[in-house]
Amino acid sequence: MSEFVAVSADVSDGALIGNGVKIWHLAQVREGANIGDGSIVGRGAYVDHGVIVGRNSKIQNYALVYGPAELGIGVFIGPAAMLTNDMFPRAVTPDFELKGADDWEPAGTVVEDGVSIGARAVILPGLTIGQWAMVAAGAVVTSNVPAHALMVGVPARQLGWVGKSGKRCELEGAYWVDPYTKQRYIEDNGRLKGAP
């Protein structure tokens, strides 16, 4: 299966595009970006230089993924969501000189396997979003997110746990249970772990 790149997309010759990737209209993929097999980059999305996207991921319409972000396998980035990279954003130096590439150090986000980030959510730089976590639409994430956490609000706070299905887990006795897969988890020290 070969890749599909819309005529209006701007894909650098220096980007690595995997097998079966689809890049839609008006999307931009910069040099040094690496898009894994089977992934989709939606209309108007921006994938910065140095961004790594794991296989079978989806970057929805108008999402902005700034480098050096690393997305795991099967990551969902919702419409108009943004992964930022500048801890101390300024257009100019203290002397009002326009800042250049050497005037800052980008801090990328690590988004682990299976994570979903909702529409218009904002992820601040240098954070890690743990496996299978879900960030609600419009949330602003300001700290690391544990695996399976459901994060909502501004600033984002944990509202519960989600299973691999994306459904909110229900507490049944000592176990958190994914209502769709029926997989059981144990909460231990603020973390969710698979149970036998």
pLDDT of residue 122: 98
By the 10 Å C-beta count (0-12 exposed, 13-18 middle, 19+ buried), 48 is classed as buried
Q: Among candidates 61, 58, 51, which has minimal Cα distance to 25?
A: 61
State residue 130 phi and psi, 5-degree precision.
-70, 160
Q: Among candidates 111, 100, 104, 65, which has minimal Cα distance to 87?
A: 104
pTM of the entire structure? 0.94
pLDDT of residue 1: 63
- Cis ω for the linkage preceding 125 (within 30 of 0): no
pLDDT of residue 2: 74
pLDDT of residue 18: 97
Does the pLDDT at position 195 exceed 90? no
The count of other CB atoms within 10 Å of the CB of residue 34 is: 17
Average pLDDT over residues 75-97: 95
Tokens of 151: 């994060």
Q: Residue 121: inside a domain, yes or no?
A: yes
For the chain, the distance separating the N- and C-terminal CA atoms, rounded to the nearest angstrom, is: 38
By the 10 Å C-beta count (0-12 exposed, 13-18 middle, 19+ buried), 46 is classed as buried
Q: Residue 58: inside a domain, yes or no?
A: yes
Q: Residue 87: inside a domain, yes or no?
A: yes
Does the pLDDT at position 3 exceed 90? no
Instruction: State the total domains in the chain.
Output: 1
pLDDT of residue 29: 98
Per-residue pLDDT band for 24 (boundaries 50, 70, 90) equals: very high
Does the pLDDT at position 7 exceed 80? yes
Q: Residue 191: inside a domain, yes or no?
A: no
Q: Residue 84: inside a domain, yes or no?
A: yes
Average pLDDT over residues 3-18: 96
- Residue of 40 and 102 predicted with greater confidence: 40
Q: Residue 170: inside a domain, yes or no?
A: no
The whole domain housing 52 covers 4-129
Element (H, E) at 165: none
Give the separation between CA 21 and CA 45, rounded to whole angstroms.
14
Q: Residue 79: inside a domain, yes or no?
A: yes
Q: Residue 36: inside a domain, yes or no?
A: yes
pLDDT of residue 154: 97
**Per 3-state DSSP, what percentage of the chain is helix, strand, and coil (rounded to 5)?**
0, 35, 65
Per-residue pLDDT band for 150 (boundaries 50, 70, 90) equals: very high
> What is the domain-level CATH number for residue 90?
2.160.10.10
pLDDT tens digit string along 107-138? 999 999 999 999 999 999 999 999 999 999 99
